[in-house]
Amino acid sequence: MAVNPLGEPQAGAERAAAPGNLAPLSLHVPEPRFRPGDTPDYSYLDIPAAGTAPRPDEACPASDTWGLTTGLIRVLDDEARAVGPWDPGLSADHLRRALRMMALTRAFDDRMYRGQRQGKTSFYMKSTGEEAVSIGCAFALAHDDMIFPSYRQQGMLISRGYPLVDMVNQIYSNRADRLKGRQLPIMYSARDFGFFTISGNLATQIPQAVGWAMASAIKGDTRIATGFVGEGSSAEGDFHAGMTFAAVYNAPVVLNVVNNQWAISSFSGFAGGERATFAQRAQGHGIAGLRVDGNDLLAVYAAMRWAANRARSGHGPTLIEHFSYRTEGHSTSDDPAAYRSAREAAEWPLGDPITRLKRHLIALGEWSVEQQETMDREVAEEVRDATRAAEKNGILGHGLHHPFHTMFEDVYETLPWHLEEQADQAIRERRIKWPDWKEEG
């Protein structure tokens, strides 16, 4: 029998069969609180009153923020009033623009979802219930700051004025798709709008954002970067590698974990959410951290503005956890009824972000139910018009794609001979298979 360095019997089959006085080991497997058919009860959540979180100076030591990683920064109270030190004091015009961008994003999501169900595209991912995260962050950043998004930040691109028709073209992968069909639907790339290419490889945007911010600092630029992941993706190694580089080099970056409670069908506990908040990871890396009510646009705006100012003034990175809820499926390929209670979204205690901002504007006397209804119709028509324009360029399975030869282009200034040969061979084979096919362009 093998022995360990102390001359004691080596643990093995014999030990497992005769454990003696030792209790057997056990493995903890996280389990969500509610399953399909259960009645959700969110009383276990510690949701502090709005306005109670202190607001430290933007230049404070990182340790002064760590108490803010366990509660929630909230501005809008139950009466839809803006209260407390985090109230950013935005004008009514600013609030109305933010409300419109949230409504436009939701209208866009709804129409693209229907388009997928009609077979016009293969795939779509909605951000319903999370619009305040994208819009609040977009409004708080400078227009030329660089965004490294995940796949539910379409509201940031919309807020920056990117044409809706170009977004639909990309989703339909048609002949007007700026990415020429080289990305999955919804994985936009818009360099001129400071919107880095969305990646299907989870968490890659975190080290990319940190690296871009480090390069900006090296060049003596004034632009900062921000990166987004879902709470599930924060379990990836790339997230922690990026956090380490951000801390070591004091990178001018804001890193965001959008905790919408579910990573596809796995709840947040599988990413470590049972042990601590995601914002508390800031303390382990020695950087500033904030945890914010992700359904409160004013709180999201205030937190991002605070972190952006801190990064821009040379005081280093901040990790923000946006506490929210994914009200619909992970994507059009997902059925959330298979793994969570159908009542979860309705019972979510932080409410709907659009409704909350609308109520706030009404309470200020700056909005009305009638104005909201008019605006909802307007944004729906805006999305409809963009969709109709894009459909003239083609939809899934109906031709009108980019010329076949373009799949070999845009890498080399001059196409190498061997790729020219491959392109010619591919086109010949396609003509043999589809004799009536004619190359465009």
pLDDT band at 9 (very low <50, low <70, confident <90, very high): low
So what's the pLDDT on residue 7?
63
Averaged pLDDT, 130-154: 98
* DSSP state, residue 396: T
Q: What CA–CA distance (Å, rounded) separates 228 from 258? A: 7
Check residue 6 and give its pLDDT.
62
pLDDT of residue 437: 67
Rounded Cα gap, residues 191 and 218, in angstroms: 20
Query: 330-365 pLDDT, tens per residue?
Result: 999 999 999 999 999 999 999 999 999 999 999 999
- pLDDT over 80 at 14, yes or no: no
Cα dihedral 105/297/156/90 (nearest 10): 110
**Tokens 């709907």 belong to residue:** 352
Q: Is the pLDDT of residue 400 over 90?
A: no
CA dihedral 383, 389, 392, 396 (to 10 degrees): -30
**Predicted pLDDT at 431:** 85
User: pLDDT tens digit string along 84-120?
Assistant: 999 999 999 999 999 999 999 999 999 999 999 999 9
The better pLDDT of the pair 281, 11 is held by 281
DSSP state of 3: B
Average pLDDT estimate for 287-292: 98
The mean pLDDT value for 40-57 works out to 97
Give percent above pLDDT 90 in the chain. 86
Do 189 and 195 contact (CB within 8 A), yes or no? yes
- What band does 12 get if pLDDT is binned at 50, 70 and 90? low
The token pair at 245 is 């580089």
The whole model's pTM is what?
Answer: 0.92
* Residue partners of 62: CB distance under 8 A and separation at least 6: 282, 286, 287, 288, 289, 316
Question: Of all residues in the chain, what percent carry a pLDDT higher than 70?
Answer: 95
Per-residue pLDDT reduced to its tens digit, 291-342: 999 999 999 999 999 999 999 999 999 999 999 999 999 999 999 999 999 9
CA–CA separation, 428 and 281 (whole Å): 55
pLDDT grade, residue 20 (50/70/90)? confident
